Structure 1
Amino acid sequence: MLVAFSVSPLGGESDSVAEAVADAVRVVRESGLPNETTSMFTTVEGEDWDEVMDVVKRAVQAVQAHAPRVSLVLKADIRPGHTDQLHAKVERVERYLD
């Protein structure tokens, strides 16, 4: 299961969200699950809903420590029996581009 999500504080004292987002990314990286962070989303890969959504929930909680309101955008690819899709999906596209 792949989950791409973006979490951001709303209504805080600063118009920069970098520190709060860094705290969320830290939670993801410390989870031990395969993950990747880009300029817009963090993608995390796990075996099932419980495993992945626990990480997302803790990332949201980390951002909540910075602001009274939080925005969460989430997209999931649920494909049981497939692993390392974080890389495999990109590799399949790259083959067509070569």
Structure 2
Amino acid sequence: MVLLEMSLVPMDAGESVSAAVAECVELIDASGLPYELHSMGTIVEGELPEVLELMQRCIEHLAVKSRRVTCSAKLDYRPGHSGRLRSKVASVEAKLGRSVKRT
């Protein structure tokens, strides 16, 4: 399984990109893959081919309206392990002996 953190920005969208983010979140949600949206990107969990294909779909979707799209991506590849979207945080919380702050 893979955790993919991605942040996509249409370069000609102006100061706010929340509308573009919302469009990508719709695609991510429709994929059925587990995900978390945070203030600087989105983390998706799945098999390598499916998360890469989803990232490509998001890029190509934004490219319909934007002449230039940048993407920052980070992958954590760990075969045989799933549910890490939650378990990685739970592991840190266990070591702290408390829940971490969430807004």
TM-score normalised over the length of structure 2 = 0.87
Count of aligned pairs between the two proteins: 96
Partners of 2:18 and 2:88 in 1: how far apart? Answer: 28
Please tell me the root mean square deviation across aligned C-alpha atoms, in Å: 1.0
The within-5 A match list for 1:1-80 is 1-12=2-13, 14-47=14-47, 49-80=48-79
TM-superposed deviation, 1:80: 0.1
Instruction: State the identity %.
Output: 40
TM-superposed deviation, 1:11: 2.1
TM-superposed deviation, 1:15: 2.2
Q: Provide the secondary structure at the position in 1 that maps to 2:9.
A: strand
TM-superposed deviation, 1:35: 0.5
Partners of 1:76 and 1:36 in 2: how far apart? Answer: 15
TM-superposed deviation, 1:65: 2.5
Structure 1 residues 15 and 66, CA gap change in structure 2 (3 angstroms): farther
TM-score normalised over the length of structure 1 = 0.92
Q: Which runs of 5+ in 2 are unaligned?
A: 98-103
